[in-house]
Amino acid sequence: MSKQNGDVLRAKLKEVFGYGQFRGNQEAVIKNIMANNNTFVIMPTGAGKSMCYQLPALLKEGMAIVISPLIALMKNQVDQLNAFGVNARFLNSTLNKGETTRIKNDCRDGKVKLLYVAPESLTKEENIAFLKTCTVSFVAIDEAHCISEWGHDFRPEYRRIREIIRQVGNLPIIALTATATPKVQQDVIKNLHMEGADLYKSSFNRTNLFYEVRPKQQAKKQIIRFLNDFRGKAGVVYCLSRKKVEEIAELLRVNGFKAAPYHAGLDASVREKNQDDFLNEELDVIVATIAFGMGIDKPDVRFVVHYDVPKSLEGYYQETGRSGRDGLEGKCLMFYSHNDLNKLEKFNKDKPVTERENARVLLQEVAFYAESPVCRRKQLLHYFGEHYEAENCEMCDNCTRPKEKFDGKESLKIALNSVAMTEERFGLNHLISVIRGIENQHTVSYEHDKLSVYGKGVEEDEAFWRSIVRQALLYEYLQKDIENIGTLRMTPKGTAFLEKPYEVTLRKDHSYLDLGEEEEAEKESPVAKAYDEKLFEVLKTLRKKVAKSKELPPYVIFQDPSLEEMATTYPTTKDEMAQVNGVGMGKVVKFGAEFLKAIEGYVEENEITTASDVVVKSAGQKSKMKIYIIQQIDRKIDLDEIADSKGVKMDVVLEEIENICYSGTKLNLDYYIDQILDDDKQEDLFEYFLSAETDSIEAALSDEYNQDYSEEEIRLVRVKFLSEYAN
């Protein structure tokens, strides 16, 4: 295209989207599409793939069809385009018949510039017939890796796309993906008959992302601690199952995070609301299923956590790519355990043989990535067929906390000889059997038990040799055979090494064996009885001083169990203190400032590393009862009726009311107390609690002035008293 046309593109970019310049390969890709050429774009998440088809769709006559598997991403992109004044629509299963008819009429009338279509919708005969009646400029296939059965997210309906496009017309195709290994690239091109397509491949290196893998040990405690560093910032937590998504979303909520679940099992309206709330900053954290895949284009996501092990490195790379799309730093944390791998293996057992084997290979790559001591960035780029020169990226845990080194020359020689002597025709498992001298059907039938390398590595275990072979791949002594999945071949570098060996430094793998419980048992009250006695005394003295200045009994300020927990968890912020049992934000606002200052000074003076997440609050079953009681009290329903409606005794309701009160929530029970006690009696009991050293019911009942009151009456007035003075 001419310079003038390039200027036209930039002018349109500025006019509609507000950008002054293109990024990376965007301009070259757009010019290629404008010239009606088939185009294959491989561009990492966050690099601006969608612009590659959105801009030419505006400039070309007719309507562009965008095929996308993610309903969430469709809605997200259509909303964004509509905000820019672009008439974009989508066709998918969330629409009713009337909405579908209106959209189709607008498309026929030439009003729509981009129509997003789910692959399932595309395969319906009535939709194929409808598209034939429209003027279509080109077809964009987003998430094109779904076409490949060798990829991480294979969708059978994607295999029909080429044949359907032919029925609609002779249209240019642009295929786009953020995750494609060399094998997947080959398969996509072949299936779409795009052998002559122009390939535009950007680097997969997301330099602003920090990659970390941790053992999945006390994971709930770890995730609260990790997220505490990102309070008020946007993030995504991926889980394997819908049940776990709900559980982790609730865990985060009760620990003070604005979080919500997102998965295919939710009602469409709830899912849509949660997505919109996340985009509109009403929520900070979305907890989503790995299987469903959440396509949300939000630039300021600061962290992505994989609570469960992902099914593949492609999925992992794409999901971590949701972080830091604005170019600022993003943290990517994966919790890794062999239990998760075993669960995923079980999920795959009912799949067809080929699909099961592909899933196993993909899972094996995830295990290699997690356990390997080599730079995470180097591993990811290598997986996608890209070479990374630097030895230390300084943006992953393996580079910032390197594992122990050892001389790998002799081990590497054995590994490479096993590949060369077996004629470069076998995969990792067979090679390790040869190296370790395992006599089995394959080593014997191929007569590999007669090779000089057979049994040379018998002194080391299987995990050691897996690591050696993996590092040989990463440092390019070996390479994968694209045509034969799983087969390893020599590289010129590997051949040269065998001819003239030299010193090679390798590193020891991470070990994830016998690391203890993955998820600690959760309790509503602190487990630890051991608290900092010195700090407890400091806080007790301060409580007495504050109580005296406010002319209140000390127990009204904070009770002993709350002070003990403060002396265990060292809260230094309002949010942290509000999580202490028996406190709540109301009490923090009323009494917390001096206590926070005292704890902060104590922590600094004694150089204490705080662990405010020692107590992880769980929602528990009682929370539903508490919410119900609060709602009924707000509606001034008699407590007896509340007890009857829940089929429990009055004593149970009273206990729940007391728990609510002690956690810092103000309750107005006047409507009920006024029915059973006159003003004078209420005042007498108030006087008692104001002068008492303790709020113990036993002490109140034994007081000679309270003989005329029942236990229930005293308990109710105590709640009223604490609500007015303490909360």
- Please give the model's pTM, rounded to 2 decimal places: 0.66
What percentage of the chain carries pLDDT values higher than 90?
Answer: 44
**What does 626-650 look like in DSSP terms, one character per residue?**
HHHHHHHHHTT--HHHHHHHHT--H
Note the pLDDT of residue 524: 41
Residue 35 CA to residue 170 CA, distance in Å, equals 14
Non-local CB neighbours of 545 within 8 Å, separated by 6+ positions: none
d(CA 637, CA 325): 51
Q: Measure the CA angle with vertex 204, ends 203 and 207; round to 5°.
A: 95
CATH for 209-400 (3.10.20.30, 3.50.50.60, 3.40.50.300, 3.40.50.1100): 3.40.50.300
Domain 3-201: CATH architecture, name and number where available: 3-Layer(aba) Sandwich (3.40)
Indicate the pLDDT class of residue 315, thresholds 50, 70 and 90.
confident
pLDDT in tens, 100-120: 999 999 999 999 999 999 888
**CATH number for the domain running over 622-725:** 1.10.10.1390
Lowest-pLDDT choice from 14-18, 200-204, 356-360: 356-360
Q: What average pLDDT does range 448-459 have in this prediction?
A: 94
Gyration radius from the chain CA atoms: 32
Q: Tell me what pLDDT residue 514 has.
A: 53
Under the banding of pLDDT at 50, 70 and 90, the label for residue 54 is very high
| 523-558 tens-digit pLDDT | 444 344 457 888 999 999 999 999 888 888 888 888
- What's the confidence (pLDDT) of residue 614? 45
> Residue 587: what pLDDT?
83
Under CATH, which number does the domain 406-507 receive? 1.10.10.10
pLDDT tens per residue across span 321-348: 889 988 899 999 999 998 898 888 888 8
Domain 533-605: assigned CATH number: 1.10.150.80
- Give the pLDDT confidence of 589-614 residue by residue, as tens digits: 888 899 999 998 888 888 776 655 44
pLDDT per position as a tens digit, 117-146: 988 888 889 999 999 999 999 999 998 888
Show the beta-strand stretches assigned E in 240-329. Answer: 259-262, 285-289, 301-306
Averaged pLDDT, 153-164: 84
pLDDT at 615 > cutoff 60: no
Amino acid 3: pLDDT? 45
CATH 3.40.50.300 in the chain, residue ranges? 3-201, 209-400
CB within 8 A of 240, min separation 6: which ones?
A: 289, 290, 291, 307, 308, 309, 340, 343, 344
Helices (H) and strands (E) in the chain, counts: 35, 17
Question: Quick one: residue 281, left, alpha or beta (phi over 0 = left, psi -120 to 50 = alpha)?
Answer: left
| Positions of CATH 1.10.150.80 in the chain | 533-605
CATH 1.10.10.10 residue ranges of the chain are: 406-507
Which range, of 295-299, 330-334, 619-623, averages the lowest pLDDT?
Answer: 619-623
pLDDT of 527 reads 40
Where in the chain is CATH 1.10.10.1390?
Answer: 622-725
Q: How confident is the model at residue 356 (pLDDT cuts 50, 70, 90)?
A: confident
What is the DSSP annotation of 209-246? EEEEEEE-SSHHHHHHHHHHTTTTSEEEEEESSHHHHH
| pLDDT for res 26 | 93
Task: Give the mean pLDDT of the chain.
Answer: 87
Q: Is the pLDDT of residue 687 over 70?
A: yes
Share above pLDDT 70 across residues of the chain, in percent, rounded to a whole number: 93
